[in-house]
Chain A
Amino acid sequence: MPERSWPVRWVVAFGRFWVDFLVGDTPELLVGAVVVLGAAAAIAASGSVGASAVAVAFLPLAVLCVLGISLARARSGRR
C-alpha cells in the first residue's frame, strides 16, 4: 500500500478526530441528541398554542432520557 502524502494524512487525522470527538464509543448520544433536537424543532414549529412551552419542558427531559439510555447501556456491560 503506497504511503499517503502529508496533506492526506492530516485530513484523515482531522476526520478521525471529529469522529472520535462526536461518536467515540457512545453513538447513542449523538443519535439521541439529533432525534431530540429534531423533535423539539418540530414541536416549536408546529404553531399550536403553548408549543414553545411544551418544547421548553420537552428538551431537557428528553436530553435526560438520552443520558439515561446511555448509562443503562454502560451498566448492562455492552461497552
Chain B
Amino acid sequence: MIAAVHTSSVVLVVAVFLASAVEMVEALTIVLAVSVTRGRRAALAGALAAVALLGALVAAVGPALVHVPLSTLRMVIGGLLLVFGLQWLRKAILRAAGLKAKHDEDAIFAEQVAELSGTGDRGAGSAAGTGGSRGSRWLGRIDRAGAVVSFKGVFLEGLEVVVVVLTLGSTSHDVPLAALAAGAAVIVVGAIGALVARQLSGVPENAMKMAVGLMLVSFGTFWSGEGIHVRWPGSDLAIVALVAFYGLSAWAVVRLLAGRRSAGRRSAGRRSAGRQPVPEVEHA
C-alpha cells in the first residue's frame, strides 16, 4: 500500500513538474522577449502580476474541490485530463514523426521581439509617475504594453499549469504536493532561463511534451475509470502499467508514421525523377 502511494506521488510530481516546465519555457520566451525590447521592469511586473493572480486562483478553487463527491470529481477531472493529455500526445507524436513542425522557441522569440519593437514608445506610463510614493513612481515608469504582453503570456501558459495542478492534485488528494512540483518547475526553468537567456530552443521540448502527454492520458484513463467504477488490478500501480502501455504504443505509432513518411518521400522522389529528369546543368 505504501509502495503504491509512493508510486502515485512520484508519478504525480513528475507529471506536474514536466507539464509546468514545458509551459514555463513557453512563457519565459515571451517574458525574455519583453525584457529585451521593453525593459526588465515591464517583463517582471507583468509576470509577477500573472503569477499572483494564478496563485489566488489555485488558493480559491483548490479547497472548493474537496466538497465535490469523489466519484464525480474523478470522472469529470479524469475526463478532462484524458482529453488534455490526448491533445498533447497527438501533437508530440506528429512532431516526433516529422509530420508537424517542431515548436521553435527561437522563432517565437524573434517574432515577439519584432512585434514589440514596433509597439509605441517605451515607458508609455511615465506621465503617471511624476508624483506620489516611491512605489507608485516605480509602477508609473513601467512600460504598459510590455507589462501587458508579459502578463498575458505568463497568465495564459500558467492557466494550463493551474488546470494540471488542480486536476492531478485533487484526484490524488494532494494539491499542495502538485503545487510544490509546479513551483519547483517555475524556479528551475526561471533559473535556467536567466542563465542561458535566449537559448531556449536547446530544451528538448517535444520529448518533455511526449512524457507529459503519456502521463496525463494515463492519469486520465485511471481516474475516469475509477469515477465510473472500473476496478483497476493493483490499484494505483495500474497507472505505471498504463504509462508503459501508452508509451510503447506511442513509440510504435511514431515509428510507423515516420516509416510511412520516408517511404512516401522516396516513392515521390522516384516518380518525379522518372517523369522529369533534371539536367545536371540546373544544379550548377
With a 10 A CB-CB cut-off, give which of B230, B231, B233, B245 has the most chain A CB atoms. Answer: B230
Contact B225 A29 (CB under 8 A): no
Interface of A is mostly: helix
Q: Are A63 and B82 in contact (CB under 8 A)?
A: yes
Q: Is the interface of B mostly helix, strand, loop or mixed?
A: helix
In the bound assembly, the distance between CA atoms of A66 and B86 in angstroms comes to 9
Chain A residues, CB < 8 A from B245:
60
Contacts of B87 in A (CB 8 A): 24, 26, 29
Asked whether B233 lies within 8 Å of A33 as measured between CB atoms, the reply is no
Q: Total number of A-B contacts with CB less than 8 angstroms?
A: 84
Binary contact readout B217-240 vs A (1 if CB under 8 angstroms, 0 otherwise): 100010011001111110000000
Q: Which residues of A contact B80 (CB under 8 A)?
A: 22
B90/A55 in contact, CB under 8 A: no
Q: How far is the CA of A66 from the CA of B82 in the complex (A)?
A: 11
A74 at the interface (CB under 8 A from B): yes
Number of A residues near B (Cβ < 8 Å) is 28
A64 pairs with B230, CB closer than 8 A: no
Q: What residues on A are CB-neighbors of B84 within 8 Å?
A: 21-22
- Look across to chain B and name the residue whose beta carbon is closest to the beta carbon of A36: B82
A52 with B90, Cβ < 8 A, contacts A21-B84, A29-B83, A33-B83 known: no
Across the interface, B90 reaches (CB within 8 A) one of A37, A59, A74, namely A74
**8 Å CB contacts to B: which residues of A29-72?**
29-30, 33-34, 37, 40-41, 44-45, 52, 55-56, 59-60, 63-64, 66-68, 70-71
The residue that A59 contacts in the complex, of B159, B163, B221, with Cβ under 8 A, is: B221
Are the C-beta atoms of B249 and A37 separated by less than 8 Å?
A: no
Residue with the highest number of chain B CB atoms closer than 10 Å, among A26, A45, A63, A66: A63
Q: Is B89 an interface residue (CB 8 A)?
A: yes
A33 touches B257 (CB 8 A): no
The reply to whether the CB of B93 lies closer than 8 angstroms to some CB of chain A is yes
> In whole angstroms, how far apart are the Cα atoms of A30 and B232 in the complex?
23
The reply on B253 being an interface residue by CB < 8 A is yes
Considering the complex, give the chain B residue whose CB is closest to the CB of A32.
B86
Residues of A within 8 A of B (CB): 17, 21-22, 24, 26, 29-30, 33-34, 37, 40-41, 44-45, 52, 55-56, 59-60, 63-64, 66-68, 70-71, 74-75
Interchain Cβ contacts under 8 Å between A and B, 24 examples: A17-B159, A29-B83, A29-B86, A29-B90, A33-B83, A33-B86, A34-B79, A37-B79, A37-B82, A37-B224, A44-B230, A52-B229, A52-B230, A56-B225, A56-B230, A56-B233, A63-B221, A63-B246, A66-B86, A67-B89, A67-B93, A68-B253, A71-B94, A71-B257
Q: Give the A-binding residues of B (Cβ under 8 A).
A: 75, 79-80, 82-84, 86-87, 89-90, 93-94, 99-100, 156, 159-160, 163, 217, 221, 224-225, 228-233, 242, 245-246, 249, 253, 257
